[in-house]
Structure 1
């Protein structure tokens, strides 16, 4: 009886967290699914079935939004994984001011995404921006980074890589520092080079950290909105629209039920991509 009471007593400590989780995450999620089947305002609602979903898939820019969302997620994830790993290897080596350099790499993570988007919009201005001004000094004509339809989504993805590579680097540093030093010592005794150390020790043994970076960066890329909206607003035209910006435009237009259905579709879209990727990379980790 005492064991049962002690077990129930321990659950009481979880109750506040469970209530907060239910009120601020689970309940709003369930209500979003419900309201996606309704026409609703702040004071009234009417059940309309699948009409919102049908209308959402008839959006003229939806195909562009799906394409840009996937492109943005894959590009940003690849950049963060590659650069994060390279920065982590460099910052784990014996260099001077290593702590300062780590802080500099991590610093963009602390800045608001909207602030970063506005700053890069100014820097990428076709005539007065610092990027094209410096290119002009060496005789190159810089493109209209955010005004050219074929370049806009590339420019936003580059900015997201710059913003998010710091957290990827920190995760990789933690993974690399967790590798037992005896492995590197044994390789050096056998005459192994720095590249062999990276290829045969650092890369395979930092796989758990890499998996974490991939999942976090992929989910962040699939649901990205703030940078896109701050830098391009989905333009020019619909060329840099992603699913989240399309949904926001529907909310701004007062189509709340339609936008809620879009949020549900975005949630399912992310789940259908993220869960298989998560299972695949974790299966590979187990196989190793």
Structure 2
């Protein structure tokens, strides 16, 4: 038996009295663009507080300037800055400080977040205590630890002597310990932010993964390695970038604890810039800021691209 093709419904036919508009696919507004005026407020803020100051900094880096006048001198500021005797040491200290603080916050922040995500007693209180140092003034923290780590009267060395029977080291006065001691203070103060980001990352993992791990009899380490560690990678990349940028441009904590000393052992690029500014070499210090901007960008930008590529592979 044959079927009359004319008897089958046609997709382009409509019933009498109705238009074919109801068969059209609704317009997708997800990819629609906002009107131009919607971008104007944010664009003005970005222009005034970022683009203009950045362009002005690049210009004044090529001048000898005061508050009242400026003289274009070309690359002389950059040549002078690169001839600074302690520049190579300060650049090395900057890299060490940035990577040590960043790596420590990633490891310790993850560890604390895992513990504080468990149903432990007083979990909310422990989370608050972990975040509390973030709220403190950086200058206040630096001055406080300068007293606590005093080699003769500081409470840390007194406890060290009482427990070991030996004199404690000069945490901030010994060139071998100064930079790492300040880095440890930085980690203590900024660890709360890293922990908070990791807690949010762990909370975003669907509970079905953990239930499946329990059903399969996975140990705590296996659950961490196979579920928490890979699925919280976006939080890891955020902590790495934020802490690395903060470490590379750190100044206030270093200056209030050691002043870049003893000698130049804890000098970083930011403290060298500040010393030039103190001496009245404003153009030279501006050139240093431009160099620091380029160094941070050269490290963070490719790292950010690499981390984003890893996130897309997950």
TM-score normalised per structure 1: 0.95
Determine whether 1:150 maps to 2:176. yes
The residue aligned with 1:4 is none
TM-score normalised per structure 2: 0.87
- Contiguous gaps of at least 5 residues in structure 1: 1-6
Determine whether 1:168 maps to 2:194. yes
The residue aligned with 2:58 is 33
Determine whether 1:240 maps to 2:277. no
The residue aligned with 2:276 is 250
String of CA shifts for 1:118-169, please: whole Å, max 9, x gaps.
Answer: 1111111001111101111112321000100111001000000001110000
The residue aligned with 1:70 is 95
Over alpha carbons, which structure has the higher Rg? 2
| Alignment RMSD (CA, Å) | 1.3
The residue aligned with 1:276 is 302
Q: How does 1:104-123 map onto structure 2 within 5 Å?
A: 104-123=129-148
Task: Note the C-alpha offset of 1:96.
Answer: 1.2
The residue aligned with 1:42 is 67
Separation in structure 2 between the aligned mates of residue 83 and residue 277 of structure 1, nearest angstrom: 21
String of CA shifts for 1:1-25, please: whole Å, max 9, x gaps.
Answer: xxxxxx9994434323322222222
- Contiguous gaps of at least 5 residues in structure 2: 1-31
Task: Note the C-alpha offset of 1:26.
Answer: 1.3
Determine whether 1:206 maps to 2:232. yes
Separation in structure 1 between the aligned mates of residue 245 and residue 198 of structure 2, nearest angstrom: 18
Determine whether 1:12 maps to 2:44. no
* More divergent stretch after superposition (276-285 vs 57-66): 276-285
Separation in structure 2 between the aligned mates of residue 213 and residue 199 of structure 1, nearest angstrom: 18
Separation in structure 2 between the aligned mates of residue 104 and residue 225 of structure 1, nearest angstrom: 25
Separation in structure 1 between the aligned mates of residue 166 and residue 37 of structure 2, nearest angstrom: 66
User: Comparing both structures, which one devotes a greater share of its residues to helix?
Assistant: 1
1:54 to 79, 83, 88: 79
The residue aligned with 2:166 is 140
String of CA shifts for 1:38-90, please: whole Å, max 9, x gaps.
Answer: 01000000100000000000001101110000000010001100000000000
Task: Note the C-alpha offset of 1:254.
Answer: 0.3
- Runs of at least 4 residues of structure 1 off by over 4 A? 7-10
1:193 to 219, 225, 228: 219
